[in-house]
Amino acid sequence: MLDPHAVNRSLRGIIRTLLGMPANSVRPANQNAPTGTMDEQFATVLVTSVGAEGWDDSRHQNEAQPSTNVAESVTGQRRLAASVQFFRGDAYTQACRLRTLLGTSQAIASLQAAGLGFVSASPARNLTGVIDTYWEERAQIDIELYLIDHEVISTPTYGRFPISVTTPASTVSHEVLAP
């Protein structure tokens, strides 16, 4: 099942590791929380969209006995867009580094271990400006990823039902137990 919070958490951990940033310095976006002193750099991650790609594959399977249910599973590919913003310190440099580091074998292996596939990263954007009379460095990079989503639902079915087959020569009746 697709959990955007788990995807965000995994992506933040990967970014923090790749850039060698301290613990709790890569946070979820849009939070009202203290950000430390004015010289402490931090980054935020926001998963901005989740869209299906292609057709989902649907399969039916009988559940283990003694259940009379049928499990239907749907597996599909999802395309994710994540916005990563860096604040303070050398924000633009960190955004540029992240774009480069996402192409390394370590990053690809980390993403795959989290169930994510790297698609592309936008060029870093320098968003530096004056915030509350302080000059604050800020930069942004957008990342596109793929994720395989797997959903399963259980559907109740009949446990016993009679079946009769009649032909001109004979009639056969049986009781079928399902599944």
| Residues 3-17 pLDDT 10s | 788 889 999 999 999
Please confirm whether the linkage preceding 179 is cis (ω < 30° from 0): yes
What is the pLDDT averaged over residues 33-51?
79
Confidence of residue 67 (pLDDT cuts 50, 70, 90): low
Structural contact between residues 38 and 13, judged by C-beta atoms closer than 8 angstroms: no
Tokens of 19: 């850039």
Q: How far apart are CA 156 and CA 145, in angstroms?
A: 36
CA proximity to 26, closest of 42, 6, 50: 42
Q: How far apart are CA 4 and CA 8, in angstroms?
A: 6
Confidence of residue 56 (pLDDT cuts 50, 70, 90): low
Q: How many residues does the chain have?
A: 179
Higher pLDDT, 103 or 62: 103
Higher pLDDT, 141 or 60: 141
Calculate the CA 86 to chain-centre distance. 21
Domain that holds residue 113: 4-177
CA proximity to 81, closest of 139, 23, 120, 110: 120
Confidence of residue 1 (pLDDT cuts 50, 70, 90): low
pTM of the full structure: 0.71
Task: Domain count for the chain, please give it.
Answer: 1
Structural contact between residues 72 and 153, judged by C-beta atoms closer than 8 angstroms: yes
Rounded alpha-carbon distances, angstroms, from residue 118 to 18, 80, 111:
14, 10, 7
